[in-house]
Amino acid sequence: MIFSETRLPGAYLIEPQLIQDERGFFGRTWCAETFIAQGLNPELAQCNLSFNHRKGTLRGLHYQIVPYAEAKLVRCTMGAIFDVAVDLRPDSRSYLKWFGAELSAENRLMLYVPEGVAHGFQTLRDCTEVFYQMSQPYEPLAARGLCWNDEILQINWPLAVSEISEKDCSYGRLSAALRLDDCPEDGKTAERCAV
């Protein structure tokens, strides 16, 4: 596997090294020893599939808080996505910065998203499937999210949003969350994401 660190410390684009012959190819997409050697979390607690009917579908931006903070390894097994990671680690040099890359069935790239970094994606084609490997199981009480079109982040999503869940649209804006004195006790704001 070829690991290329993104502008977010600890977040990597990973490309499988393919061994090809007349039958096709073979390549490794995950190896605990290799991840340890790269300083990445090798834990594997859960694997998830996300199938999306329409291009323009947006999922995210999601993360879990400590002690359930999760690392993710994301790859697109059918179709294509614009995959995004947002650094929420206050001590990071890339705090509140984002990184995005196209992952597709053809390019076979993967994105490793470390703990403390939110994740989301937008489908670039109809009938797109995404496969996630998670270091922690989903814990509903620890699940959090960011508004996909937050003005502080200014993520350049490639398409108009065709589908988004009510839950993903309910996440408050960072501008309110960062002004703790203006933020209600539950951490949410009346200002919502508008599609």
Please indicate, yes or no, if residue 9 is contained in any of the structural domains.
yes
Please indicate, yes or no, if residue 134 is contained in any of the structural domains.
yes
Confidence (pLDDT) at 177: 61
Please indicate, yes or no, if residue 186 is contained in any of the structural domains.
no
Please indicate, yes or no, if residue 154 is contained in any of the structural domains.
no
Looking at residue 96, which CATH number applies to its domain? 2.60.120.10
Burial of 20 (0-12, 13-18, 19+ CB in 10 A): exposed
- In the residue annotation, 119 being an active-site residue is answered as no
Burial 109-120 (b: 16+ CB within 10 A, else e): bbbbbbbbbbbb
- In the residue annotation, 62 being an active-site residue is answered as yes
Q: What is the pLDDT along the chain (195 residues), one digit of tens a residue?
A: 999 999 999 999 999 999 999 999 899 999 999 999 999 999 999 999 999 999 999 999 999 999 999 999 999 999 999 999 999 999 999 999 999 999 999 999 999 999 999 999 999 999 999 999 999 999 999 999 999 999 999 999 999 999 999 999 999 888 766 643 333 444 343 344 444
Domain that holds residue 12: 2-146
Please indicate, yes or no, if residue 14 is contained in any of the structural domains.
yes
Please indicate, yes or no, if residue 78 is contained in any of the structural domains.
yes
Catalytic residue among 62, 63, 112, 119: 62
Query: How many angstroms separate the CA atoms of 60 and 98, rounded?
Result: 13
Please indicate, yes or no, if residue 194 is contained in any of the structural domains.
no
Catalytic residue among 12, 68, 112, 132: 132
End-to-end CA distance of the chain: 38
Please indicate, yes or no, if residue 166 is contained in any of the structural domains.
no
Confidence (pLDDT) at 39: 95
> Domain tally for the chain?
1
Confidence (pLDDT) at 185: 41
